[in-house]
């Protein structure tokens, strides 16, 4: 069999690394995306559990809270966050109901410690429902938490904070889950566009062949049958029919060469408009816009929370103003630089902005000796975006550890101190996760396009080569045999009839090949090709010696197909260019090697040595680990030989 064009999925491809641009396996992408989501959600739940401890609940209640949080996280991660989950299925709606119970019923027992957990429900509503339904439901959940907080303590600052917190958390829960699902889907479907482009190209090629060649081959068959009937009673009319066949076959041969040339030239062209690229690009752009909007909204929400956290402690106006200014500047740098472009790769030019961001998030603490927390996560996440992986994660860990040190120095309330450490870690991963996954979506979209373009180019080149090697040789043989029959009509009608019969048989095979050449594999029988070749050479007046030895049994189908094509190329060259009268053909399958040898006593034409047919055959033989040699032998005769290891194929050639 002629091998399939491309196996795109076997090609190692680059992917965005955490905090770096060097190439890594794309396999890392969905794993890292889902890991980030899992850690963020566990951190979010951990903060709630620390509040349960802080508010003085009993050990049994803490254990109950932990069990409920595990159930909530399991639903979120394994159901709503799993790429294979159909979010419009009855099971998903049942899971949504269970999640609503898990975020609302425990409020009766845990009250303020549980108040932020409806954010999970808010994020899932955006995932599951159309926007016109999802956003009103999202707003209801956010308002509901505000009402619950007002009932809990009636403090408007707390109510405002929890409203912002729920909205922000709902957005990043939605964003991280949606982007992680999309990253996994794009990774798993990275070959889909390539397959679509190849399928479209094969259909186009098949239509073009049918329009250009299929009808003409059918016409040759009909005219050949008419010429056979007329050879005896009306040789003049038979000669006219053969003349028309010659004209058609020569025109078809020119068409084949033109189509093959056009496909070779088109190998570097862009994907066709109907290959699905527009839909893919539109989906990628929509996801990138969504991620960009979410990043800005989440960053603004986190900024507002950081400012409001300062209001919970007594501060003088100067301290509050400076802290708010630093936080606002950090937000501007984060949104305006680190989060600005979903396509910009990390570079050393980001080191200075990263240093400025570090000053902004730590300056209030250094000046006022107080644990100003809330925006250090911006620095941790941005370090992953700018620095090399090892250094980026080291800086991330250092920032989180610095918060533990700051809280230990200025705090004194262990559960709340660790709470701030978790907030910093979560904020860093949210910052990094949203921006990195947005970049990754764009990058995977580009990879899909590159795979499709490579597959399309490979397909076009293969189709051009197969067209020349299969149909081109068949049409050359039809032209040669019809020309010979045309010259034999007057002086040897019986031989002309035999030659024309061979031409009709070749035409029938060519019609079959024209219908299958656009497929992904073509299978030819070496045995059948030997029979046809012998008859064709004998009809052309050559003295033929053919020997076939297959001590090792049937040839693998792929090896047999390539040797059949080499045989066809060699015999066509003998008929077209050679002046000799003898042709020896030997086919052996012994000692683990399949060999074909064609020897002709005539002086070969230049095309025998340098033509594209010999080059194509050499490439096909080499692809199976074999060797093809063409040139004069020691005795001056022209020799074409091919040798292919039997191990190159898997299955025996069963083509009859």
The dihedral built from the CA positions of residue 200, 205, 206 and 212, taken in this order, carries a sign that is positive
Can you count the helices (H) and strands (E) in the chain? 22, 5
Token pair, residue 301, equals: 């929400």
pLDDT band (50, 70, 90) for residue 8: very low
Concatenating the DSSP letter of every residue in 554-568 gives SPBHHHHHHHHHHHH
Alpha helices in 266-388 (DSSP H): 277-311, 317-333, 351-368, 376-386
Q: How many residues does the chain have?
A: 656
Range scoring the smallest mean pLDDT among 190-194, 349-353, 427-431, 582-586: 190-194
Name, in order, each residue with C-beta under 8 angstroms of 353's C-beta and a sequence gap of 6 or more: 333, 337, 338, 386
pLDDT of 407: 74
Rounded to whole angstroms, the Cα distance separating 629 from 643 reads 9
pLDDT tens digits, 147-174? 998 988 888 988 999 999 999 999 999 9
- Whether residue 610 is predicted with pLDDT greater than 80 in this model: the reply is no
Name, in order, each residue with C-beta under 8 angstroms of 162's C-beta and a sequence gap of 6 or more: 115, 116, 145, 146, 149
Range scoring the smallest mean pLDDT among 116-125, 309-318, 477-486, 553-562: 309-318
Q: Three-class SS of residue 501?
A: helix
pLDDT of 510: 76
pLDDT of 277: 52
3-state secondary structure 149-188: HHHHHCCHHHHHHHHHHHHHHHHHHHHHHHHHHHHHHHHH
Residue pointed to by tokens 């003049």? 236
pLDDT band (50, 70, 90) for residue 119: very high
pLDDT tens digits, 120-139? 999 999 999 999 999 999 99
- Kindly give the pairing relationship between strand 627-632 and strand 582-590: unpaired
Q: Three-class SS of residue 14?
A: coil
pLDDT of 21: 39
Strand stretches in 481-626, DSSP E: 543-549, 582-590, 593-600
CB contact at 8 A, 204 and 461: no
Query: Could you tell me the maximum CA-CA distance found in the chain, to the nearest angstrom?
Result: 119
Higher pLDDT, 410 or 298: 298
- Return the DSSP state at 212: I
- Whether residue 114 is predicted with pLDDT greater than 80 in this model: the reply is yes
Range scoring the smallest mean pLDDT among 65-69, 460-464, 497-501: 460-464
* All domains in the chain, ordered by first residue: 23-188 (no CATH), 192-269+363-522 (no CATH), 524-656 (3.30.565.10)
Name, in order, each residue with C-beta under 8 angstroms of 345's C-beta and a sequence gap of 6 or more: 21
Query: Which helix (H) or strand (E) element contains residue 336?
Result: none
- Whether residue 242 is predicted with pLDDT greater than 80 in this model: the reply is yes
Higher pLDDT, 505 or 652: 505
């Amino acid at each position: 069999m002629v091998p399939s064009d491309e196996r795109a999925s076997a090609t190692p491809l680059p992917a965005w690394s955490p905090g770096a641009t060097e190439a890594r396996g794309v396999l890392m992408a969905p794993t890292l995306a889902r890991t980030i989501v899992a850690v963020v959600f566990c951190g979010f739940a951990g903060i709630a559990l620390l509040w349960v401890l802080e508010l003085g609940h009993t050990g049994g209640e803490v254990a109950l809270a932990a069990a409920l949080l595990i159930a909530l996280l399991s639903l979120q991660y394994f159901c709503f966050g799993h790429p294979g989950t159909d979010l419009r299925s009855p099971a998903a709606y049942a899971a949504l109901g269970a999640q609503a119970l898990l975020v609302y019923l425990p409020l009766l027992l845990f009250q303020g410690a549980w108040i932020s957990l409806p954010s999970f429900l808010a994020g899932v509503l955006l995932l599951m429902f159309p926007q016109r339904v999802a956003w009103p439901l999202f707003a209801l959940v956010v308002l509901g938490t505000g009402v619950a907080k007002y009932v809990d303590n009636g403090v408007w600052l707390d109510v405002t904070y929890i409203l912002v917190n729920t909205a922000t958390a709902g957005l990043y829960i939605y964003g991280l889950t949606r982007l992680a699902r999309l990253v996994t889907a794009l990774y798993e479907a990275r070959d889909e566009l390539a397959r679509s482009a190849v399928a479209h190209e094969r259909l186009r090629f098949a239509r073009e062949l049918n329009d250009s060649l299929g009808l003409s081959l059918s016409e040759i068959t009909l005219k050949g049958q008419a010429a056979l009937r007329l050879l005896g009673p009306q040789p003049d009319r038979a000669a006219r029919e053969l003349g028309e066949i010659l004209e058609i076959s020569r025109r078809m041969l020119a068409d084949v060469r033109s189509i093959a040339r056009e496909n070779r030239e088109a190998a570097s062209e862009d994907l066709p408009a109907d290959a699905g690229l527009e839909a893919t690009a539109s989906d990628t752009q929509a996801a990138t816009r969504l991620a960009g909007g979410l990043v800005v909204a989440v960053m603004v929400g986190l900024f507002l929370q950081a400012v409001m956290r300062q209001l919970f402690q007594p501060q003088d106006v100067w301290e509050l103003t400076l802290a708010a200014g630093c936080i606002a500047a950090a937000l501007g740098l984060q949104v305006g630089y680190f989060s600005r472009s979903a396509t910009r790769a990390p570079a050393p030019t980001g080191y200075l902005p990263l240093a400025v961001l570090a000053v902004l998030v730590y300056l209030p603490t250094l000046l006022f000796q107080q644990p100003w927390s809330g925006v250090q996560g911006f620095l941790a996440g941005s370090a992953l975006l700018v620095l090399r992986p090892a250094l980026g994660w080291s800086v991330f860990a250092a920032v989180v550890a610095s918060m533990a040190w700051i809280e230990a120095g200025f705090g004194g309330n262990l559960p709340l101190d660790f709470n701030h450490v978790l907030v910093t870690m979560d904020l860093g991963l949210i910052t990094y996760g949203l921006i990195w996954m947005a970049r990754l979506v764009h990058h995977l979209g580009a990879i899909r396009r590159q795979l499709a373009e490579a597959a399309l180019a490979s397909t076009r080149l293969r189709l051009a080569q197969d067209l020349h090697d299969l149909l081109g040789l068949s049409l050359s043989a039809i032209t040669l045999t019809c020309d010979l029959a045309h010259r034999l009509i007057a002086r040897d009608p019986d031989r002309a009839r035999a030659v024309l019969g061979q031409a009709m048989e070749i035409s029938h095979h060519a019609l079959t090949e024209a219908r299958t050449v656009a497929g992904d594999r073509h299978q030819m029988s070496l045995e059948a090709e030997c029979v046809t070749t012998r008859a064709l050479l004998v009809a052309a007046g050559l003295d033929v010696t053919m020997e076939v030895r297959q001590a090792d049994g049937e040839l693998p189908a792929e090896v047999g197909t390539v040797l059949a094509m080499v045989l066809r190329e060699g015999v066509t060259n003998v008929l077209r260019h050679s002046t000799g009268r003898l042709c020896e053909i030997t086919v052996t399958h012994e000692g683990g090697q399949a060999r074909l040898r064609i020897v002709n006593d005539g002086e070969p034409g230049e095309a025998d040595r340098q033509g594209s047919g010999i080059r194509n055959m050499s490439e096909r033989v080499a692809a199976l680990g074999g060797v093809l040699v063409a040139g004069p032998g020691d005795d001056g005769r022209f020799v074409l030989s091919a040798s292919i290891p039997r191990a190159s194929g898997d299955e025996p050639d069963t083509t009859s």
